[in-house]
Chain A
Amino acid sequence: MSDSDSGRARGVLDRAAAGMLEASVLQRLAIATASTVAALAVGLLVVAAAGYDPAVFLRNVFEGAFGDSNAIARTLKFTSIFVLTGVSVAIAFRAGVFNIGVQGQFVVGGFATVISILWFAPMLPEGAVGGVALMVLGTLAAIVAGGAYAAFPGALKAYAGANEIITTIMLNFIAVGVVGFLVEGPFRGEGQRAPNTDRIPEYVELPQLVYDVPDFSILGLVVALVVVAVVAVVMARTGFGYDMVTSGHQEAAATYSGVDAKRTIVKTMTFSGMVAGVAGAVFAIMMQGYYSDPGGVATYGFDAIAVSLLAANNPLGVVPAGLLFGGLDSAGTHMRINSDVPVQLIDGIVGLVVLFVAAPELFRMAAERTGLGGEKR
């Protein structure tokens, strides 16, 4: 590359970064929507190039996501989990802490739920009352486990300077490996051929109120929305939230205002991990009913990063973003069975959406960190 080229490229980057940094919430929303549409358009081109009819493909996507009550239930099921894991990521990113370990916290939380329910079940009465009590206990166990599993890399960052991106990624592998080992051996259910725990008792389940499907209850979505509301209030209306968000914006100003930067990092990670734990609990109770080798569990905690980025790390924005990802996942599940389009193509299109929607926000965050787009005044 010649000199003038690199200078021009830098100029273009700078202008783009300045634009992204100054974009209002509405503009960012517009960018996210346009990105989604653009991703689908490119995806349809790929579909057409691969020799399939894009119109049929598009119809399949809609049917898979919203075609009938089964499809809608499936979409909302995935949405519930994406919203919870997405909020977990958003908490940390807003505070300038890069928790990439939501997947690990989600796995540890879900496993803790199943184990604690199995452990407490014999001590409590069967039936609805016992079921509710066990679900509460299981969720609390998930919150504690997820929070602790995130507090650890938080403390490593705050007090030992360990990069949280690296430690949380490594802790993901550790969580999957250790839980995988536990369900393989010590916690494998009696007579289970597959590496699974015992099933939790049948009365420990969220009641079917709207959709008659075994692995989704509208209450799961309600839990997710309640968590969103709680997180939004904490971020916007409490001193702790202000401390967190201010640390993410401008650490020196936060420190000046009396924020203890190190403790805030640990608190932020813990809070984020607690929400990831709730996601794990909902997954375990509502969707699975037991715990299996997490190596085979869907990567909700990773997709959550894209969900959060699409939502510009805004807890409320995570709801529509989670719905989009829930719909895409649901459509993918549907089309695997009902369409002749190869699975890889569907995954590729989901990947395109992730790339398109996450890239602008990622670029914005990178620009903020690296000073692209001009020094702050």
Chain B
Amino acid sequence: MASSTDRPPAVELRDITKRFGDVVANDGVDFTLEQGEVHALLGENGSGKTTLMSVLYGLYDKDAGTISIDGDVREFDSPRDAMDASVGMIHQHFQLVEPMTVLQNVVLGHEPTENGLVDEAAAREDVAAISDRYDFDVAQHLDTPIRDLDLGVRQRVEIVKSLYRGAEILVLDEPTAVLTPQEVEGLFDVMEELTAAGRSLVFITHKLGEAIEAADRITVLRDGEAVGTVSADDTSEQELARMMVGREVLFDREPRETTPGDPVFEAEKLRVRGDRGLERVRNVGFTVREGEILGIAGVQGNGQTELVEALTGLRSVESGTVRFHDEDVTTASRRRRIEAGIAYVPEDRHTQGLVLDYDLVRNALLGNQTIEPFAERSFIDWSAVRDHAESIVEEYDVQPPNPNAEAASLSGGNQQKFIVGREIEHDPDVMVASHPTRGVDIGSIEFIHDRLLDLRDAGLAIVFVSSKLAEIQKLSDRIAVMYEGEFVDTVDPDDVTEEELGLLMAGHDREADVDSTAVTADDGGGGDETPADETEPPASEDAPDGGAQS
């Protein structure tokens, strides 16, 4: 760590609060970036990392708090102000003009001019100098259009662009998300070069290993609050995982009154590829029974999204089978699965779960286009759809209680309650709920939890994906932990400690003294959880794969 004591911190954020409606995205967050360090900002999707950095970069107005750059308090109304204060941000989606060359992209908007004309020679010289200084390997691509370059090179072009504009402080927003492992190593080299030259970097990520490898210090955000800051040398993946997913007192698990029935939803040896063709789900299998909740825990990005999409018919599988009752639905279309009774509360309510500029009536039809009584042959019975929307709004306490309201005008919690209501009212046999409480206010979280438990008691088979440990443990009858596309283990929530879950989520097997065979879910006992102390050594031996099938 290269912190210098003679200069004030590069960035000091004090007590930053940012609200979106009734959701608090940042709640009194403190964050300090020392001169010349790489500081990782670690947290789940929706934990507030990007919001915090967008406040720093002038994209959002903060509701409270102060920003100091090099010891001076600053107010940023726009990214331009931030850039003037030498803060640069590299977004996850590159802001490059694809048909234009590297040189044109770097100088765009800041072209050196001579007599009103772009001085290309000067531009070329400046950009090449930056590239050479940091050993970026960009100089030989100056005249190549962006679209012909690999993502790794494009990212370096973005960095050069920021440096060209005089950035001393660089925020990298999930820079590794789109890169191959080799490109990630290349990026880490670049980051080292930058800090060696005195630049200070914020590295946003949700990957534990990368944070430890690339950063000097790590600050963990959870639910909009800074959980703590640790030195990368003194921490472990387990500790970070635990900080990310929470260690609050666990909810009391209410005793089960029903026992699970017949198997309803099964997956066997499922392999699924992600968007970039990489295998994201590896040999996953499970069985969910009537009246049972299977929780899928794991740090975000370990294949949960791809698994859920394969189960719900939104993504085709590479191999393996998905069975619903006794029917093989592996290749059944999404619509076929909806009609069969597989409901789905999607991970992303804004792009998938709702059409934002439709009112709630038209959103009530989403997914119901072929379901009676809304569809009569090819026609839609809009009065039936309206009645349906009204009953969802009433029964699921959607505010404002107005079915003519545009979906975009509702708060996140109310949008989510509407989706949950719509999916439950399908009268499904299976419910797949993916992060149903993400970015949702506390009251709505409780409401959604209660509805899911009601469904379980009514005999549904539920697959519940979340990265929040507390709710996973509260709701699940069994917890499957997913790491790098595999179910590393399936555990009984009454029978597992936070430490063990933290280990599993970081990709380690549990300790040998814990039974790692599959656990059946007929145990109705209440929780007798004791907070475990922190004496757990990391499991080093390669124990055989935990059985994930019940």
Chain A residues with CB under 8 Å of chain B are: 3-4, 6-7, 237-240, 242-243, 246, 249-250, 252-253, 255-260, 376-377
Contact = CB atoms under 8 A, between A and B. Distances in A.
Given A258-B334, A258-B335, A376-B408, A253 B80 contact: no
B369 A257 contact: yes
A4 B338 CA distance: 52
B78 interface: yes
A256 B344 contact: yes
Nearest to A253: B355
B263 interface: no
B142 interface: no
Given A3-B109, A239-B378, A243-B369, A252 B352 contact: yes
Contacts of B514: none
A93 to B, nearest CB: 16
Contact of A250 (B346, B351, B369, B370): B351
Contacts of B80: 3-4, 7
Nearest to A249: B355
A259 B369 CA distance: 9
B23 to A, nearest CB: 11
Contacts of A249: 355, 357-358
A257 B353 CA distance: 8
Nearest to B312: A256
Interface of B: 78, 80, 109-110, 314, 333-335, 338, 344, 346, 348, 350-358, 362, 365-370, 375, 378-380, 382, 408
B457 to A, nearest CB: 27
A256 B370 contact: no
B367 A246 contact: no
Given A6-B109, A258-B333, A258-B334, A253 B369 contact: no
Contacts, number: 78
Nearest to A251: B351
Contact of B369 (A3, A6, A258, A377): A258
B356 A377 contact: yes
A242 B355 contact: no
12 contacts: A3-B80, A239-B369, A246-B358, A249-B355, A249-B357, A250-B357, A253-B351, A253-B352, A253-B354, A258-B367, A259-B335, A260-B334
Contact of A238 (B78, B335, B367, B380): B380
A189 to B, nearest CB: 43
Nearest to B376: A239
Nearest to A4: B80
Contacts of B346: 256
B350 A3 contact: no
Given A239-B380, A246-B366, A250-B355, A255 B334 contact: yes
Given A239-B369, A250-B357, A376-B408, 5 more contacts: A256-B352, A256-B353, A258-B334, A258-B335, A260-B335
B352 A238 contact: no
A249 B365 CA distance: 15
A3 to B, nearest CB: 6
B240 to A, nearest CB: 30
- A-B complex: 4 closest residue pairs judged by Cβ atoms: A258-B335, A256-B352, A239-B369, A252-B351
A6 B369 CA distance: 46
Contact of A253 (B109, B338, B366, B378): B366
B365 A242 contact: yes
Given A7-B78, A239-B370, A242-B380, A258 B338 contact: yes
Nearest to B21: A377
Interface centre among A246, A257, A260 (most CB of B within 10 A): A257
B378 A238 contact: yes
B370 A258 contact: yes
B366 A256 contact: yes
Given A257-B367, A258-B370, A238 B379 contact: yes
Contact of B350 (A4, A243, A377): A377
A377 B333 contact: no
A263 B357 CA distance: 24
Contacts of A239: 369-370, 375, 378-380
Contacts of B353: 253, 256
Contacts of A6: 109
Contacts of A246: 355, 358, 366
A237 B367 contact: no
A377 B78 CA distance: 19
Nearest to A239: B369
A250 B358 CA distance: 10
B379 A237 contact: yes
A265 B246 CA distance: 45
A256 B375 CA distance: 18
A259 B336 CA distance: 10
B97 to A, nearest CB: 13
Nearest to B337: A258
Given A3-B110, A240-B378, A377-B350, A257 B408 contact: no
